[in-house]
Amino acid sequence: MKKTAWFLVVLAATALFAADKALVVQVLRTRLLAQPDFLSASLCPLQKGNRLELLEAQGSWYQVRSAGGVKGFVHSSAVMESRVTLGGIAPGPKGASQDELALAAKGFDEGNEKKLRNSTGYNFADLGWVMEQEVDVPALARFVRDGRLK
């Protein structure tokens, strides 16, 4: 009994240490960058929920390591600190995270957005066109350089 208690204490401590350095991507899509600069080379794409190991904070930027072992930078606005959870060793609700539960409780979600699609006064078709207008990074970098911007 004593041994099991010891074992759980050590596991919990390990989880706490690991969680202390973990970040989670909180935006739909972002990129792991070679430098703390949005116009620097992209090392790999990141998406919501990807976990990153925090190596160092540099101003508004974090130097991190991806799950695939790639070292690079993300901006602090793209990530949040990983919550300390003992989900692996303690019983609890499976699946939904605290954030997902909070979201479900509030209802500001895709489900309610879909219900609005048929309401008068909303034009989601044109919104789709707006959201499709992408600008790639090389074009943006050229635009910044040609306009003598920073």
Partner 1 sequence: MKRLLPVVLLCALLVSWKPPVSLSKIKKAKKGVELVSGAAHKINEEEEYHIGRAVAANILGQYPLWKNGALTRYLNLVGRSLALRCQRPETYGGYHFALLDTAEANAFSAPGGIIFLTRGIVEMAADEDELAAVLAHEIQHIVARDPLKAIRSQRLKALGTFTAGEAVGSGGGALGVFQDSVMDISGTLLQKGYSRGQEKSADLGALDLLAVTGYDPGALRDMLEKIRAVEKKKVKAFSAHPSAARRIAYVSGSAGPAGGRNGREARGARFRQALARR
User: Residue 70 CB, nearest distance to partner 1 (Å)?
Assistant: 18
Helices within the chain (DSSP H only): 2-20, 98-106, 110-116, 124-132, 137-146
Of residues 68 and 146, the one with the C-beta less far from partner 1: 146
User: Residue 62 CB, nearest distance to partner 1 (Å)?
Assistant: 7
Q: What are the φ and ψ backbone dihedral angles of 79, each rounded to 5 degrees? A: -135, 160
Q: How far is the C-alpha of 37 from the C-alpha of 61, rounded, in Å?
A: 9
Of residues 67 and 101, the one with the C-beta less far from partner 1: 101
Interface residue list for partner 1 (CB under 8 A): 3, 6-7, 9-10, 13-14, 17, 20-21, 26-30, 38-39, 54-62, 75-78, 81, 99, 101-113, 115-116, 119-124, 126-127, 129-131, 133-135, 139-140, 143-144, 146-150
